Chain A
Amino acid sequence: MIASISRAIDRILGRGEAAVTLPALDGALRPNRALDEADWRRPLPGVDCIAVHKGSLVVSAGQTVYRLAAGGAWESIGSYEASVSCIAPVDADSLAVALHEGAILIQGGRFDGRRYKIGSAKCITAMAASGEELYVANGSASNGPDEWQTDLMQCNASGSIWRLNLETGVETRLADGLAWPAGIAIAGSDVVFSESWRHRIVRVVSGGPRETEVLYADLPGYPGRLSSFGDGWWLAVFAPRSQLVEFILREPAYRERMMAEVPQPFWVAPKLRSGRSYYEPLQGGAVKHLGLLKPWAPAMSRGMCVWLDASFQPRSSLQSRADGNTHGITSIIDHAGETIAVSRGDNVVVGLRSPALGLGSSA
């Protein structure tokens, strides 16, 4: 009773839960331009998810999976009837491919050609394999992979985590009621996933009762896919949080009318790439002065990858600021001594030699 009254007062005065506060980009997350200064850039329209398959880099883009050939050209290794929502290696020569309607296909290896479907899941955002078990994140029960802005604006929390046995086809739900789980990783015996709309990384104790533990909370962006990197992890943060969006998430009336009346590209919502149209919302700090957009300008998109240590605490980050050209990082992996990030916002794959990590780390 008292709690609900104090919440109501908070809402009126903008205190407590209604206060719009964001963690500062500081420490390991100190801004840098490492992604813009990458060692190489390979454009590919619609590029989204990256993995290593048979020793070379493969990426998904639209309905096709491409391989990065020796000369640096993109070479198709398979096309599908629907857009690919994510890919993940099962073992060295086998690749799992999830499609927009929820089908999971295995290409190569022991389970080549098998096709699975998990319940009604049709928003598979990330997968990770361990032996013959495939762990799958389903972002939302009601929205598809491309409707993530809608899911955020509806304040949805209907995502789930599944375990699929590739041999038997048995599916097990490990967690549900999640706010857009968008990345998944196997850490020892645990399943770790990122929960975007709650800005955190969570661990599920696999095999045990349905228990979860928050490993890293209050990220300044929306966390996406995870991949292993040395003894730690790479986390792709696909869009930044902003005070304005946080405020709008607390304004149901405006949000509903915006979803009904404003075309989606022009919503006040995080994006993979913003500032491309004059119909998009503009924030005060993003007004160009003397012909320049300031790097610190508030923006709906940004490039950010966070290097997490073995206990999922941030150690360093690679970024592209408001005036940068490598926004909307949806996927990042470590391969052959290089860190390769996929900027879906700017349709480009960028590669950095690992020493570039010195940037932004605490000296």
Chain B
Amino acid sequence: MSASDLITRWRYRLIPDHLVGEILTKRWMDNAIPLAIMAVVACVFASLIPDFFGAATISNLMRQWGEFGLVVVALTIVMVAGGIDLSVGSVFALGNIVALGLLTVAGWPVPAVVAATLGCGAAVGLVNGLLVGYLRLRAFLTTLVTLIIVRAIVDMLLLNYSVAIAATLPDSDIWYFFGEGNVLTFPFSLVVTVTIALALHLFLSRSRVGWHVLAVGGSRRSAHNVGIAVPRVICATYIISGTLSALAGLLFASRLGGGGADTGVGLEVAALTAAVLGGNSLGGGRGSAAKAIIGSITVIILINSLVRIGVSSGANSLLLGSVLLAAVAIDVRWLKNRHKITSKVYVSPTYAALPTAPSTDGDSPYALNDRLRDVGVIGLGSIDGPEDVILDSEDNLYVGNRTGDIIRFLAPDYSQQEVFAHTGGRPLGMAFARDGSLVVCIGGMGLYQVRPDRIVEKLTDETNRSWFSVVDDSRLRLADDLDIAADGRVFFSEATVRYETHEWAVDCLESRGNGRIVCYDPNTGLTRTVLKNLVFPNGICMTHDGESFLFAETWACRVSRFWFDGPKKGRVEPVIPDLPGYPDNINRASDGTYWMALVGIRTPSLDLALKMPGFRRRMARRIAPDEWMYPNINTGCIVRFDESGRILETLWDAGGDNHPMITSMREHKGALFIGGIFNNRVGRLKLEGRDVSWTGPSSYWAKS
């Protein structure tokens, strides 16, 4: 291995490129940029302002944030449902004046004051909701009007009662606790806001109504079409928004105890800035409580710090406006380009040097011959893609096809076919269980079984989630081939966890260990991953010792043996480390050896590309998939080998005319049945000198 190869190998072993794409696919990535902005803002002002993190500053900041955060949360709820509420600032001021007036002038008890204030806010919200939700007025204009009207009401109330309010000092500990009290050293307003944000998070992410809100925001028409009461949902969001704004006003009243004409003026702009800065989409459908909190913290730091630095109030507003503009721009661009970035970085090939390929001519055990030339064909042109073939004890032939059926060809001449069962998905590997059920790996669905009475049952479609994987890998994406141990445990391969069935070629381009072998235990009903990081594990076949199986890794061109029981339990040993082609299914032969299909032959040009991950990555990005370098799967062959890895014979179709593309084969009563995933036929080859009574099911389930 050359020095540059060594460097490349370690570079790709140490830096997990594929995680970038996986992280980008996570929903919480939406929060990454706002979080970074928040961190930058905090760092910048911490360095500019002495004693920024002092106890007094922080406590003061937290108390203010409690009120402001509540308003932002209120606005977020409306925005998530696709609307906007500009009246939050006015309602905040209304809450403030109503609470103070009722407490001091009217002399109501505190609980009644709280209820009435919240009711006041809810009433304004209801007006907004009725107008926007039911009458379908434009949210922007409607709430702008409410802003003005409510502001006018506040001004009238101030005119009449401000003197009286200022003259009376409320005599209530609870009242002062709202504004000045602490819960476990945290300001009361902070605790209230965090509690409400938490509730909102659970509401949006876990509750049916919350999902309705997101659905309405995402697409009003679709939400209506699936039966969601859109006007009611929208109306409700405005009511919640009004209530929370009034609550914020109440907390503010308790803290400062006075009503000024400028209370809550411009608050809607600050709240809007915070909501958008946090990553809540202006278009609706995308937003969360976490985003509201991140955005509001950033804005509160910004506003307070600017005041403390001594920036004049005009410049302060100017800056806030600029931040809003930038946040909106980022919001739009990010939404538009995120999937482009993801699709560009998701494919991440790795260094994958293969051992030198054995030759296929001369004295090589793989030497080219024409033994498959005389193969007879079954169902030519009437079967689409039989990946695996299997025969039952009555000699009937079962194959899966591309449209999700399991087709049965009837013995003895196989000229008649019928749909044995429709499973959907892409039926791949098959095996008969002890009770005669046909257990099938179905790409895109999982592990299923078809009982002899043709009833299709799901066995499993998920396994345990890996602890340290970024994406949730519990769901089975591409169950490929299986075999069944004597105690009924089903071991099956999942070729890749990063791609879907039809994207198998991209996995070859990556050639990373994306696959795994999973065990389903029918006795306990549990599914567990037993082997991970395999390079496209494909064929699986039980050995005769009852405690191990052979498995093929297609892109790694090797066959290994895994012990699931006995003294060597848990060990993996290589059987054939260097195949000249890409192995697919493995099945038992009548004499205790094994048949294996090589779906394609390694090409020197692709072998070289496997050592140059950067080259493959650029290829994936720059040219169309139809033009990519693929493994050469137009010519394949069948080999027979024993447990020591010795190749005993090789069967080729040199011309590739009679049976192009081989992915599987089964020996049955002295004949070999051959399947191919992109083929339109099943091949049948008479074998010389084999046991003509031997069948697969008898080898597994007879006697014992």
**Chain A residues at the B interface, C-beta cutoff of 8 Å:** 14, 18-20, 242-244, 247, 251, 253-254, 257-258, 261-263, 266-268, 278-291, 293, 298
Contacts and interface: CB of A to CB of B under 8 A. Distances in A.
A321 B385 CA distance: 25
Nearest to B628: A284
The A interface is mostly helix, strand or loop, or mixed, namely loop
Contact of A254 (B604, B608, B623, B678): B608
Given A263-B604, A291-B681, A286 B623 contact: no
Interface stretch (B162-170, B613-621, B667-675): B613-621
Nearest to A279: B603
B623 A261 contact: no
Given A14-B621, A257-B612, A282 B627 contact: no
Interface string B584-614: 0000000000000000110111101100100
Closest 6 CB pairs of A and B: A285-B626, A290-B680, A278-B635, A282-B632, A243-B627, A262-B604
Contacts, number: 108
Interface string B132-170: 000000000000000000000000000000000000000
B446 to A, nearest CB: 26
Interface in B244-276: none
5 contacts: A244-B623, A261-B604, A279-B601, A279-B603, A284-B626
B583 to A, nearest CB: 15
Interface in B626-666: 626-635, 660-661
Contacts of A285: 626-627
Given A254-B615, A266-B603, A242 B633 contact: no
A54 B678 CA distance: 54
Of the candidates A251, A285, A288, A293, the one having the most CB atoms from chain B within 10 angstroms of its own CB is A288
Given A20-B622, A244-B627, A261 B601 contact: no
B634 to A, nearest CB: 5
Given A14-B618, A291-B680, A278 B632 contact: yes
B679 A281 contact: no
Contacts of B681: 291
Contacts of A263: 604
A148 to B, nearest CB: 18
Contact of B633 (A20, A247, A282, A293): A282
Of the candidates B381, B603, B606, B621, the one having the most CB atoms from chain A within 10 angstroms of its own CB is B603
Of the candidates A243, A251, A263, A290, the one having the most CB atoms from chain B within 10 angstroms of its own CB is A290
B505 interface: yes
A268 B616 CA distance: 14
B624 interface: yes
B601 A283 contact: no
A282 B603 contact: yes
Given A266-B604, A278-B635, A288-B660, A244 B622 contact: no
A285 B627 CA distance: 6
Given A14-B618, A288-B660, A279 B679 contact: no
Contact of A286 (B384, B385, B634): B634
Interface residues of B, number: 37
Contacts of B612: 253-254, 257
A149 to B, nearest CB: 13
B641 to A, nearest CB: 20
B619 A266 contact: no
A360 B631 CA distance: 34
A19 B622 contact: yes
B679 A291 contact: yes
B539 to A, nearest CB: 20
B621 to A, nearest CB: 6
B631 A282 contact: yes
B522 interface: no
Given A282-B600, A288-B678, 9 more contacts: A14-B618, A19-B622, A268-B629, A278-B635, A282-B603, A284-B505, A284-B627, A290-B384, A290-B680
A251 B625 CA distance: 18
B615 A262 contact: no
A169 B630 CA distance: 53
B608 A279 contact: no
Nearest to A281: B605
Nearest to B377: A291
A266 B360 CA distance: 15
A263 to B, nearest CB: 7
A200 to B, nearest CB: 22
B627 A242 contact: yes
Contacts of B678: 287-290
B628 A268 contact: no
Nearest to A244: B627
A284 B634 contact: no
Contacts of A242: 627
Of the candidates B601, B603, B605, the one having the most CB atoms from chain A within 10 angstroms of its own CB is B605
Contacts of B679: 290-291
